[in-house]
């Protein structure tokens, strides 16, 4: 490819800017022209496309969100929309697109490749819910934010001998909950991948810890389990411990990306442009065993998600 474009799509994530910066500067290093598309696939439909230079991506690596903006585009999600986007690319002479986003965005990238525009996906989502990759850009920042917020909740929970039920993000993926649960010393961590028994997995744990002298408790609930208000109410009813529910929500999506997110985003953005330079298309850049590699998008979308059972066991055995 000689003239490529980059866009961010779906839910934003800290580190997306570092990925865009890497794509722009790598492309320029390789002697390609590079364009930035605003508002995800929508920008391809409306022509919000701008030529990027080295300085176009100045001062963004440390910022959360996405300087290219993002969108969910119902129009692109139709065969006519995909054809229209492909026509726009041809009109501009764009012969490669890097899409930073989640599974939905990769389905779009697969369709756009099918319409004749070679696409490469880069996983950007805080949820770590992309089965082909062990890591997604934004995940580390989101977990660290959740951990810091729960540490603060813990201070006040401890002062009042309370129980706090904290719901963290992750959609149907329990990775954020599992890791933050371990990091904050939660008495119980509920994830969508493991069915839980209210008495055995929450109440009995709290009662046992109470007997050994523990007086304050944190329960971490994954978004995919939900019902944190109800869980909180039931804990108070059954144990008599004053309980409070907090849904952390979008604070987890923002903020300055951690070192890990900036570095992985830089590596993945670089790899994506290498693939386009080498004439590859319909690939997704992923992390496997700490290495940056790539898979066919269609195959990647069909891979089953692997839940870390050992880490879950560790969280169970340490929270007592
Ligand atoms: P994410 O990429 O974070 O999973 P979405 O699922 O909202 O976010 O997808 C982002 C955009 O990708 C959608 O607005 C749509 O334009 C496109 N997209 C989503 N699903 C598909 C699909 N099945 N086929 C084609 N395009 C899709």
Q: Cα(108) to centroid of ligand 1, in Å?
A: 6
Q: Which of 105, 114, 297 to mutate to test the pocket of ligand 1 (most atoms within 8 A of CB)?
A: 105
Residues 238, 203 contacting (CB under 8 angstroms): yes
pLDDT category, 250, cuts 50, 70, 90?
Answer: very high
Q: How far apart are CA 34 and CA 21, in angstroms?
A: 11
Q: How far is residue 173's CA from residue 125's CA, in Å, rounded to a whole number?
A: 12
pLDDT of residue 28: 98
Of 13, 32, 22, 27, nearest to 57 by C-alpha is 22
Vertex 121, ends 123 and 74: CA angle to 5°? Answer: 95
State yes or no: is 278 an active-site residue.
no
Kindly give the pairing relationship between strand 119-123 and strand 217-222: unpaired
How many angstroms does the Cα of residue 98 sit away from the middle of ligand 1?
14
User: Counting atoms of ligand 1 from 1, which one is nearest the CA of 111?
Assistant: 25
Output the pLDDT for position 1.
86
Whether this model's pTM surpasses 0.80: yes
Residue 320 has pLDDT above 90, yes or no: no
User: Which residue carries 């069915």 as its tokens?
Assistant: 195
Q: Say how far apart CA 54 and CA 311 lie, in whole Å.
A: 42
Q: What distance in angstroms lies between residue 90's CA and the mean position of ligand 1's atoms?
A: 22
Question: In whole angstroms, what is the distance from residue 49 CA to residue 33 CA?
Answer: 13
Contact between 4 and 33 under an 8 Å Cβ cutoff? The reply is yes
pLDDT for 68 = 98
The SS3 call for residue 317 is: helix
Pocket test residue of 37, 68, 77 for ligand 1, highest count of atoms within 8 A of CB: 77
Instruction: For residue range 222-231, list pLDDT tens digits in order.
Output: 999 999 999 9
- When pLDDT is averaged across residues 282-299 and rounded to a whole number, the result is 98
Residue 65 Ramachandran class (φ > 0 left, ψ -120 to 50 alpha, else beta): left
Average pLDDT for residues 72-97, to the nearest whole number?
A: 98
Report whether pLDDT(146) > 90: yes
| Maximum CA extent, the chain | 71
Q: What average pLDDT does this structure show over 150-178? A: 97
**Which phi and psi angles does 256 have, rounded to 5°?**
-65, 130
CA dihedral in degrees (32, 265, 12, 293; nearest 10)? Answer: 90
Tell me: pLDDT of 274 over 90: yes
Report the distance separating Cα 311 and Cα 237, nearest Å: 31
Tens of pLDDT, residues 104-133:
999 999 999 999 999 999 999 999 999 999
């Amino acid at each position: 490819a000689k003239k490529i474009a980059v866009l961010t799509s779906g839910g934003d994530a800290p580190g997306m800017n570092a990925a865009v910066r890497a794509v722009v500067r790598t492309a320029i290093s390789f002697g390609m022209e590079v364009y930035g598309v605003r508002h995800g696939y929508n920008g391809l439909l409306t022509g919000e496309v701008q030529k990027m230079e080295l300085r176009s991506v100045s001062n963004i690596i440390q910022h959360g969100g996405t300087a290219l903006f993002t969108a969910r585009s119902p129009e692109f999600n139709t065969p006519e929309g995909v054809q229209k986007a492909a026509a726009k690319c041809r009109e501009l002479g764009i012969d490669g697109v890097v899409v930073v986003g989640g599974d939905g965005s990769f389905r779009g990238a697969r369709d756009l490749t099918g319409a004749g525009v070679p696409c490469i996906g880069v996983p950007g989502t805080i949820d770590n819910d992309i089965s082909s990759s062990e890591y997604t850009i934004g995940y580390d920042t989101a977990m660290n934010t959740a951990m810091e917020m729960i540490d603060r909740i813990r201070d006040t929970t401890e002062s009042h001998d309370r129980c706090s039920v904290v719901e963290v993000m992750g959609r149907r993926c329990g990775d954020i909950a599992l890791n933050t649960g371990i990091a904050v010393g939660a008495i119980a961590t509920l994830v969508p991948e493991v069915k839980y028994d209210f008495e055995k997995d929450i109440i009995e744990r709290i009662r046992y810890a109470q007997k050994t002298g523990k007086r304050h408790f944190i329960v971490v609930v994954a978004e995919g389990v939900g019902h944190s208000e109800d869980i909180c109410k039931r804990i108070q009813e059954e144990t008599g411990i004053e309980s409070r529910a907090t849904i952390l929500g979008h604070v987890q999506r923002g903020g300055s990306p951690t070192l890990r997110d900036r570095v992985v985003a830089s590596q993945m953005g670089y790899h994506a442009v290498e693939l386009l330079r080498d004439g590859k298309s319909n690939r997704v850049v992923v992390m496997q065993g700490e290495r940056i590699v790539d898979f066919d998008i269609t195959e990647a979308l069909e891979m089953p998600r692997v839940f870390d059972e050992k880490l879950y066991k560790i969280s169970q055995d340490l929270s007592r």
